[in-house]
Structure 1
Amino acid sequence: MTLGRNFTKLWWSQGLSNLGDGLVLAAVPLLAVTMTRDPLLVAGLSVAQFLPWLVFTLPAGALADRIDRRLIMVAGNLVRAVGFGLLVLTLVADVRSIAVLYLAVFLAGTAETLVDNAALTVPPRLVQRADLERANGRLFATQSAINNFIGPTAGAALFAMSAVMVFSSTAGLFALGALAAFMLPRMMPTATDTSGDKHTPGEVVRSIREGWSYFWNHRLLRRVAFISGSINLFSSATGGLLVLLVTGPLGVSASWYGLFIAIPAVGAVLGSLIAARVVPAIGGGLVTWLAALVPAASYVVLGLSGSIVLSEVVMFLAAVATALNQIVVSTLRQAVVPDGLLGRVTAGYRLIVLGAVPVGALLGGGLGRWLGPETTFVVCGVGLTAAAVVFASRVTTRALREAEETARAEASEAVA
């Protein structure tokens, strides 16, 4: 069953930019390790990519509730295209500087705060509430398949042939993503956003505070953010060291690295596609527990087993659990938050969730330099298990259901 022509345009825009992200996922660390084997410097690329989420997330949310969300997606993708285009120019000039790579990744991360925040507010404008799980599932399945499977495999293969080729392709894909986003209908602020036409600094700050207050005072959204932030904290702590573990102790060659990290993405695709059936069957509360405990177990296995096959299996299962959780939390936000606040509340949520990434990357880099990659993975597995005990127990299926019922009742009263 189709979700409509406009949703298809969003799907194409996100798919093309996801492919660019996927090429980068393999190519950036591979280029980095040709410049340095220092765990802190390699992990620092994750800091450069996600540091903008700490700085620009809340303003990006205010922007999404004030101007055409379509144009935000266009501009953000164009910035990413320019950033990697500049990296290509330095590579053509045979200038391989870790500082230039950091700059390109930082620009891409900054633009991503705009694009992703706006894109997450778009589905409720394009599909009915009954279709949100299916729409989100399709978007996340595409993201997982392209960003984590097709993209990294292609990125590693292209990098083996030419660094210039892979980063030129990346810039081109982001440009095409901008073009597809431009074909979407205009999505101006809703009538409920009374500050939509006021752009003074004071009004922008007031608007940001309003969105943050709504998010922080919504107990369930805040709890979901904390457990998701914990998952990202330890995921980024291990993710920055994965290339060192895989190409070192596990003995995977650089040419096969893209395939190694791509195989678990099949699990993410599977989780996204089955979410509409699985989540109602087992409940969002159990999904939250699985999203933390399964990755935690995978880190311990990666650190201790030394087995490529076993590592792939646990990473696959962790990806399934994480994908299911993405659908739960995205649908929750879109269902309970008024559209006029959705951009700012999404930004508040992602400030916690993605703001944990650079912190985790620094933590992982420091631990990796001190303890080595294998021990760091084990430590992170134990840490994520502890976080699940503290936070996941507070996110229950009943609480998720009641939050939606309350939101529907409030919306009905507002209309009446």
Structure 2
Amino acid sequence: MRKLSAFGALWTSQGASNAADGILAAAAPLLLASLTRDPLAVAGMTVVQFSPWLLFTLPAGALTDRMDRRRVLVAGNLLRGAGFALLATAVALGWESVGLLYAAVFVAGTAETLVDNAALTVPPRIVPRRNLERANGRLFATQSVINTFVGPPIGSFLVAIAATLAFFGSAGLFAVAALAALLLPRLLPTAAEESAAGDSPTSMLSDIKAGWRHFWTHHLLRRVAFISAAINLFGTATGAILVLLATGPLGVPAAAYGLFIAVPAAGAVLGSLIAEKVIPLIGGGPVLWAAALGPAASFAVLGLTANVVVALAGMFLAAVTTACSQIVVSTLRQAVVPDALLGRVTAAYRLVVLGVVPVGGLTGGVLAVVFGLREAFVIAAAGLALAAVVLAPRVTSAALREAEVVAEPSRV
């Protein structure tokens, strides 16, 4: 019963924070697009938002393994809520600017390094190993439904009424996420787990080194990280300028932009729900192949079609494959890494996977300026397809199964 209530608290906290993220996914780009139509300036928000993953993710991972993870979730969500409450106040006073929006998303991105690292380490502590795929599937399905299916249309609707409503609403949801996280049990690493990890760090720097070393020497985790990094690099290159393509050449009204980016979320929900059946059926290796080739095909469609329905169909199918791969990756990491190191290894993994996002955002802006908006999507498609051919064959279903079986005794 305790584990069920703990998972419920985590589920509620993640749901509220994802609702806030979903509203902001539409509200922030729409506010920025109302201030400037410069592709580099629009892409710049993605660069600023994800720069903290380059700057702070490793220290965030070390803090996650040193502190009560419940407190990390509470503090991080409160910080995000405070940042957007201040932005909403500024917008209400007529002080909105590109620089101010950049500052708000940078603060939120910094807090997110703490919240996301901590949240990803919680399921193995409150859910039995045999139920991890199901628990991760539910968390990712909830994230997909709320973050990209429910939140964006609400964000667009609120911006159409008054931008302050969207930002104040997000701030309130982050506060709810913090309150829900308070219901979790204490989540400090136990002495037994620290001993099993074979590591007794005496400083923050040694903590970080231990986490990075464990990640980098685990060849399978490293290879999976490179695949995910390639997907994120090219996905961000297109995602950073998607608002310009949608509200420009594709003719999507600004008020409907939230619905446009919400439609693929149905694919992510479907992928999250069927992953529990699909992954054992076809294996994690083919799932990772599909996760790279699916988005590549979607980028090509976006760059070449003028039909909104066709564009959305491509995005839908890509989201199905990506959601399945996220569950493969999360379950692998939670299964093979000792809990005492999980925060630091997760941070090292996400440094590689999300550290490329600012580069991708800048790349998308440059490609759009130099070659054109549609051409940027086609180039990204070719780049991701090439990366899939080079990287995906190095991760097989057999290797994934073997890694989890070998690690299982240490987690019992």
TM-score, shorter chain, exceeding 0.5: yes
Contact 2:335–2:411, Cα closer than 8 Å, also in 1 = no
Deviations 1:164-188 (A, max 9, x none): 1110001000011000001111111
Look up the match of 1:241. Answer: 241
**1:156-305 mapped onto 2 (5 Å cutoff):** 156-191=156-191, 192-193=193-194, 203-305=203-305
2:95 matches 1:95: yes
Superimposed CA distance per residue, residues 94-148 of structure 1 (whole angstroms, 9 cap, x where no aligned partner): 1121100000000000000000000000000111011000100000000000000
Q: One-letter code of the match for 2:223?
A: R
Q: Name the counterpart of 1:392.
A: 392
Deviation by residue 1:180-212 (Cα, 9 ceiling, x = unmatched): 00111111122133699x999x61101110010
Could you say which residue in structure 2 is the equivalent of 1:139? Answer: 139
| CA separation of 1:267 and 1:3: change in aligned 2, threshold 3 A | farther
Kept in 2, the 8 Å contact 1:66–1:195? The answer is no
SS of aligned partner of 2:306: coil
**Matched residue SS, 1:95:** coil
Q: CA deviation at 1:259?
A: 0.3
Aligned amino acid, residue 118 of structure 2: A
- 1:134 and 1:276 in contact (8 A); partners too: yes
CA distance in 1, matches of 2:9, 2:94: 38
Structure 2 residue aligned with 1:27: 27
Instruction: Within 5 Å, give how 1:113-128 maps onto structure 2.
Output: 113-128=113-128
Map of 2:66 onto structure 1: 66
Report the secondary structure of 1:34's partner residue. Answer: helix
- Partner AA of 1:254 in structure 2: A
Q: Deviations over 1:189-243 (max 9, x none)?
A: 22133699x999x611011100100000000000000000000000000001100
Contact 1:65 1:193 in 2 (8 A): no
Task: Give 3-state SS (helix, strand or coil) of 2:241's partner.
Answer: helix
- 1:369 partner amino acid: V
Residue 306 of structure 2: aligned partner: 306
What is the TM-score of this pair, normalised by structure 1?
Answer: 0.96
CA distance in 2, matches of 1:194, 1:403: 21
CA distance in structure 1 between the partners assigned to 2:21 and 2:65 by the alignment: 25
Change (3 A) 1:199 1:395: closer
Asked if 1 retains the 8 angstrom alpha-carbon contact of 2:194 and 2:200, the reply is no
When the two structures are aligned, how many residues end up with a matched partner? 410
Q: Which runs of 5+ in 1 are unaligned?
A: none
- Going from structure 1 to structure 2, the CA distance change for 1:258 and 1:217 (only over 3 Å counts) comes to same
Q: For the residues of structure 2 that align with 1:195 and 1:75, how far apart are their CA atoms?
A: 29
In 1, distance between residues paired with 2:411 and 2:311?
47
The residue identity in structure 2 corresponding to 1:55 is L
C-alpha separation between the residues in 2 aligned to 1:404 and 1:33? 46
Q: Deviations over 1:308-334 (max 9, x none)?
A: 010000100000000000000000000
**Shift of residue 88 of structure 1?**
1.1
Confirm or deny: 8 A CA contact 1:3 1:135 kept in the other structure: no
Contact 2:196 2:410 in 1 (8 A): no
Partner of 1:382: 382
Question: Do residues 153 (structure 1) and 143 (structure 2) align?
Answer: no
Partners of 1:54 and 1:194 in 2: CA distance: 30
Deviation above 2 Å: which 4+ runs of structure 1? Answer: 192-196, 408-412
**Alpha-carbon separation, structure 2, partners of 1:56 and 1:269:** 30
Gaps of 5+ in 2: none
Structure 2 residue 320 is matched with structure 1 residue 320: yes
Partner amino acid, structure 2, of 1:407: A
Q: Hey, what's the Cα distance between the residues in 1 that align with 2:124 and 2:96?
A: 44
> Structure 2 length normalisation: TM-score?
0.97
Q: Distance in 2 between matches of 1:2 and 1:275?
A: 26
